[in-house]
Amino acid sequence: MTGIFEGIFWQYMTLFVLAAIPWIELLLVIPAGVAMGLAPLPVALAVFTGNALPVFLIVFGHERWRKWRSAHPPVEKSEQVSTRNARALGIWNKYGLPGLALAGPLVTGIHLATVIALFFKPERHKLIFWMTFSLFAWTLGVVVVCYAGLEVFQYLFAQR
């Protein structure tokens, strides 16, 4: 008897879902998919899509959130800034939106980088472009490095 969630489709779907979860990110999911022996191109597509979907939801949901927030009085909040937010703020001040987007997957995670960028009120199309470009570049780079590393590893330790 075979289970309903067996098969290659569900392996790629798992990568998609894991990539969509904040804090897990493509830097962990791509190596896992390549190490499982899955084809690199579908891994890249599943992980890219899984990471990009929440970015789009965050960007397009932000306007709705701002409208809701304006209808409710602000709550006193602590002025304490987390280390991750401080690093992201430093990147924004030095490099702007492109710098935050390109450093996002490594420094804060792309989802948090998107949220941080929204507080600086960039143009929506520029924010989407840079976050998507960053995800594409990081996905491509990590897939190439992981796949090449796996090939080298298999070559070095292959039975002769």
Which positions ≥6 away from 116 have C-beta within 8 Å? 85, 88, 89, 92, 100, 108
47-75 tens-digit pLDDT? 999 999 999 999 999 888 778 877 776 66
Instruction: Evaluate whether 113 touches 88 at the Cβ level (below 8 Å).
Output: yes
80-103 tens-digit pLDDT? 667 877 777 777 778 889 998 999
User: How many Å apart are CA 152 and CA 119, to the nearest integer?
Assistant: 43
CA distances from 78 to 66, 72, 74, 81 (A): 20, 18, 12, 8
112-131 tens-digit pLDDT? 999 989 988 888 999 999 99
Query: For residue 134, which amino acid is it?
Result: S
Whether pLDDT at 34 is above 50: yes
Enumerate the domain spans of the chain.
Answer: 52-70+83-146
What pLDDT score does 134 carry? 96
Instruction: Evaluate whether 33 touches 27 at the Cβ level (below 8 Å).
Output: no
